[in-house]
Amino acid sequence: MTSPSASPSETVSSETSGESGALASAEGKVPVTVLTGFLGAGKTTLLNHILTAEHGRKYAVVVNEFGELGIDNDLVVDADEEVFEMNNGCICCTVRGDLIRVMGRLLRKKDRFDGIIVETTGLADPAPVAQTFFVDETVRDKARLDAVVTVVDAVNGLETLKQQPEAINQIAFADVIILNKCDLASEAQQQAMFRAIRQLNSVAPVHKAVRGDVRLTDVLDRGGFDLNRALANMPAFLEEGEGAHHHAHEPPHDHEHDHDCQAHGCTQDHDHAHDHISDSGISSHSFTLTEPLDEKRFQAWIGLLLQEKGADILRAKGILHFRGEPRRFVFQAVHMMAEGGFLPPAKGGGKGGDETSRLVFIGRHLNGAELQRGFERCVAA
Amino acid sequence: MPAPSMPSMPDTPSAPPSLLQHRGAERRYDSPIVATAASRDGQSLCALTADGEAVLVNCEKLRQSEEWQVVELHEGGICLATDSQPGSFLSGGEDGRVMRLQADGRSEELHKGRGWVDCVASTPGNIAFSVKKDVHLCNAAGDETLKVLPHPSALSGLAFDAKGRRLAASHYNGVSLWFVKSRDAKPRLLEWKGSHIGLIIHPRDEAVVTSMQENELHGWRLPDGHNMRMSGYPRQVRSMSFTPRGRWLATSGADSAILWPFFGGGPMGKPPAEFARLPGLFVTCVAAHPREEILAIGYEDGTLVLAETAGLPDDDTPRLLPLCQGARSGGVARGAISTLAFSAGGEMLMFGTEEGYVGVLDLSAGAQAAPASSPSGSAPV
């Protein structure tokens, strides 16, 4: 360790928070599902659906106002959404202090429940919630962010996106999107909402729902942020890019289960841009390379990129193949905070497309062409 | 509530009996131990579990763990402190209650609200506790709320100064210092940007020190408000204790106890003493003896030692007295030492661990050693 030293307070050191952490182990970590969505989208309905379903599990629920909810759960904790800046001088590095305190205490008694669900207020920015899982030692050691689930109103969603920038962030940040109130929205409304979602977030699966009646497997145990579990999700992660090319511009059609409309759209659908969303400057870019990458080049590039553009990068995720490395590298970032690690080798050699590297950025004022060039320069010589 | 489990197994038979076995006792409970405290009259010690049970130990029956009294105090225990009254304790819980617990096990409710009671503190003349952003200042009997002191964000630490005239409360961006008797309800604000997670006051009122989210300490010299910053910790500092006359501030957060000199102009510009290093083992808890230059140091594997601070800083190899061995040196896997408290006179030491162990040792010179449980019968030191 470096020896502690006292110094006059005028000198504030500036440690970067963008170091890559060790590969987190899923074992013994409590999964945390973060539920976001704009006011009236149906978060609480979905929450009650989750809590009352027959899954044989117990969840601790963290809400902001437990007075009004009437949630039927014996472990509901009131929180404040107290956001604070980390002291590294970086404006995007915010975390939620109340969550650190509440989860720190809940996690001491982790035998009592199987997971934690955090319901944010409709106006909340999900970034401080997600960053809490990178920043705080206790939270990082004992819990894992399973997924950010965003509930979107299929009827009023587009209007909300025009008026409320927070709603844009919530969609951009999502690991799973629930398009709710589909019984009240026309097919055209649903399609328009879907295109808007895809422009902001090209990777999150979108599930249609009526009164929050989603399948639990669509929202729980997603392993969205969990590197070890990413292997299980990787086929879907890759499929989406490839699938999009196959399915792009085909008319919507039914799949084996009708809640899944992720394949209906086009993941790189920049042509369908709607002006009111473009105004926010938020877009989603995904890139695929089939050539193996040079690990050092990638680390240097991504490190610099997050340092320079971190404030504008809401989320970044990748599954990468480095030359001479049989294991896949999984990478994720929220703003400037990043972590990455190697996955164990796929059993039985895995399926096709193992050599493929895929990287997704969701953020503000991103230059897609420049990102693509930067990523391509990481290809091993 | 389930009954406490059976007394723990002694240290493995191959290891020589520890001082804990010779001069103390330990017992395991069902949930982590969150706090320990000593009564003002020196007669009892108390531990609080995360489930909200209090373990009361009469110092005269310290070795008869079957005589330790377990009292159900809260639905979820959070904080525990010495009470204003000579023989009792104060506790706060997730159930929004502040309780007074007498040495004989009787308890009474002093406050009932909705928010978690995060901090509790007392002097012979006042008690104080915090709920979310408010500090409630009460008379010594606890039956009259003198003031409710509002703060800009939730409270993380609460402490009276040595004379009981001022009350310090830590929160985001600093510490509020209130005069207990002042009619003017405005605090002196000690500002420092960032999240302050714990608080301690120098025993001669020379300084206020907070631990921060960012693995460092921040301090203010009280006479002139000068800032001081103590950094270089590899982990968050969860435990702080001033030696009796305030010469040293001992802390956790490294693989040795860190002691900052608060004399001769220190701690500014002076390196801290680092001692009792057990390679690869982090210190999780420290407690200074109330009268002697002795420090109790707890480690992450459940090891507990006493160290002499009298010779510092010239003698950097202080005398160490192991009290019990942790999991990594063949001892009991009792989990990290999470809390430590000396009895008021310093004759007894109580510890609690993250795995629910409570242990008590008699350190007084006249203490009778237990009948030897192994043929050699010799203490390791």
pLDDT at A135 over 60: yes
**Strand pairing category for B44-49 and B53-58:** antiparallel
Report how far apart the first and last C-alpha atoms of chain A are (Å, whole number).
37
CA distance B37 to B126: 17
Helix A126-135 / helix A97-108 crossing angle, nearest 10 deg: 50
Chain segment A51-64, per-residue pLDDT in tens: 888 778 889 999 87
Sign of CA dihedral B8, B14, B20, B21: positive
Structure-model confidence comparison of residues B296 and A109, the more confident one: B296
CA distance B50 to A112: 11
Q: Which of A11-20, A75-84, A124-133, A233-242 has the highest mean pLDDT?
A: A124-133
Q: Name the H helices within B4-151.
A: 19-23
Token pair, residue B374, equals: 């192994």
pLDDT at A170 over 90: yes
Nearest-CA distance from B87 to chain A in Å?
28
Query: Which residues of chain B make contact with A86, given a CB cutoff of 8 A?
Result: 194, 213-214
Q: Name the H helices within A95-164.
A: 97-108, 126-135, 137-142, 157-163
Nearest-CA distance from B326 to chain A in Å?
20
The edge-to-edge listing of strands for the beta sheet with A282-289 is A282-289, A357-364, A313-321, A328-334, A337-342
Query: Which residues of chain B make contact with A95, given a CB cutoff of 8 A?
Result: 213
Nearest-CA distance from A105 to chain B in Å?
8
Nearest-CA distance from B217 to chain A in Å?
9
Q: Looking at the partner chain, which of B31, B132, B235 has a beta carbon nearest the beta carbon of A109?
A: B31
Subunit contact B118:A101, Cβ cutoff 8 A: yes
Nearest-CA distance from B254 to chain A in Å?
8
CA distance A202 to A223: 18
Subunit contact B254:A1, Cβ cutoff 8 A: yes
Among chain B residues, the shortest Cα distance to A15 is held by: B214
Write down the pLDDT at residue A77.
Answer: 82
Write down the pLDDT at residue B57.
Answer: 97
**Using an 8 Å Cβ cutoff, are A68 and A82 in contact?**
no
The answer to whether the complex's ipTM is over 0.90 is no
Among chain A residues, the shortest Cα distance to B216 is held by: A4
CA distance B54 to B101: 9
**Using an 8 Å Cβ cutoff, are B239 and B251 in contact?**
yes
Instruction: Give which of A321, A381, A331, A329 is closest to A352, Cα–Cα.
Output: A321
**Which uninterrupted H or E stretch holds B311?**
none
Distances (CA, A) of A40 to A86, A135, A333: 31, 31, 29
CA distance B381 to B374: 15
Spatial neighbors of B363 by CB under 8 A, at least 6 apart, are: B23, B306, B346, B347, B348, B349
**Using an 8 Å Cβ cutoff, are A166 and A187 in contact?**
no
Write down the pLDDT at residue B15.
Answer: 60
**Using an 8 Å Cβ cutoff, are A224 and A145 in contact?**
yes
Chain segment B51-107, per-residue pLDDT in tens: 999 999 999 999 999 999 999 999 999 999 999 999 999 999 999 999 999 999 999
Q: Calculate what percentage of chain A has a pLDDT beyond 70.
A: 72
Q: Which of A68-77, A79-88, A156-165, B77-86 has the highest mean pLDDT?
A: B77-86
Query: Which residues of chain B make contact with A87, given a CB cutoff of 8 A?
Result: 193-195, 212-214
**Which uninterrupted H or E stretch holds B159?**
strand B155-160
Token pair, residue A207, equals: 């599930």
In degrees and rounded to multiples of 5, residue A256 shows phi and psi of -60, -30
Mutate to test the interface with B, among A96, A101, A135 (most CBs of B within 10 A): A101
Nearest-CA distance from A333 to chain B in Å?
20
Query: Which residues of chain A make contact with B213, given a CB cutoff of 8 A?
Result: 84, 86-87, 95, 97, 100, 135-136
Instruction: Compute how many other C-beta atoms are within 10 angstroms of the C-beta atom of residue A11.
Output: 8
Residue located via tokens 């909340």: A124
Subunit contact A101:B235, Cβ cutoff 8 A: no
Instruction: Give which of A308, A302, A312 is closest to A359, Cα–Cα.
Output: A302
- E strand map for A16-104: 30-37, 59-63, 76-78, 83-85, 94-96
Q: What is the pTM of this model?
A: 0.84
Subunit contact B230:A5, Cβ cutoff 8 A: yes
Q: Which region among A349-358, A371-380, B39-48, B350-359 has the lowest average model confidence (pLDDT)? A: A349-358
Return the C-alpha torsion angle B289, B290, B292, B297, nearest 10: 10
Subunit contact A5:B156, Cβ cutoff 8 A: no
Token pair, residue A130, equals: 């997600």
Residue A254 — very low, low, confident or very high, per pLDDT cuts 50/70/90? very low
CA distance B6 to B246: 40
Write down the pLDDT at residue A273.
Answer: 35
Write down the pLDDT at residue A72.
Answer: 65
Q: How many helices (H) and strands (E) does chain B have?
A: 1, 32
The separation between CA A165 and the C-alpha centre of its own chain, rounded to angstroms, equals 18
Q: What is the DSSP string of A159-181?
A: HHHHH-HHHHHHHHH-SEEEEE-
**Tens of pLDDT along chain B (381 residues)?**
444 444 444 444 456 689 999 999 999 999 999 999 999 999 999 999 999 999 999 999 999 999 999 999 999 999 999 999 999 999 999 999 999 999 999 999 999 998 999 999 999 999 999 999 999 999 999 999 999 999 999 999 999 999 999 999 999 999 999 999 988 779 999 999 999 999 999 999 999 999 999 999 999 999 999 999 999 999 999 999 999 999 999 999 999 999 999 998 889 889 999 989 998 999 999 999 999 999 999 999 999 999 999 888 777 677 889 999 999 988 899 999 999 999 999 999 999 999 999 999 999 876 554 443 333 333 333
Write down the pLDDT at residue A48.
Answer: 87
CA distance A140 to A107: 11
Subunit contact B212:A84, Cβ cutoff 8 A: no
Instruction: Compute how many other C-beta atoms are within 10 angstroms of the C-beta atom of residue A232.
Output: 12
Size of interface A-B (CB pairs under 8 A): 111
Write down the pLDDT at residue A332.
Answer: 87
In degrees and rounded to multiples of 5, residue B300 shows phi and psi of -70, -15
Subunit contact B231:A101, Cβ cutoff 8 A: no
Nearest-CA distance from B359 to chain A in Å?
19
Mutate to test the interface with A, among B29, B208, B214, B259 (most CBs of A within 10 A): B214
CA distance A166 to A171: 9
